[in-house]
Structure 1
């Protein structure tokens, strides 16, 4: 898996995790949520839920995806 693919998977996993923007999660909490979500759903499960959310809630999904991408970048730079 390339670094870009890993970043995409982590972003999808954070997007579908239970972690919320309002929690102002630390990098450690973000990494833990990503790991737990990938373990629970797998790569395909994360992608499927992302697609479902964009289909059902496109108005909210874009903002959450932006947050997830930035949060993952910050959390894994700090690691």
Structure 2
């Protein structure tokens, strides 16, 4: 898996005529001899961060999946 942050307008090697200054996050995975790519814009990532935080909190509130530090903190609160 390869993860990169890419800004088409600032890449001198790109032949893209894009003037987009906001970076994109590219995640690439090699499957066989080919690469499969997923590209996310900054606004997509902001929504994902908000949703992950919301889902994480919902799981914590329900006593669901946690990581080690949350588990320790949760056991101290009880």
TM norm. shorter chain > 0.5: no
Between 1 and 2, higher relative CO (CA 8 Å, sep ≥ 6) is seen in 1
Larger Rg, first or second structure (1 or 2)? 2
Name the structure with the higher strand share.
2
Name the structure with the higher helix share.
1
TM-score, scaled to structure 1 = 0.29
TM-score, scaled to structure 2 = 0.29
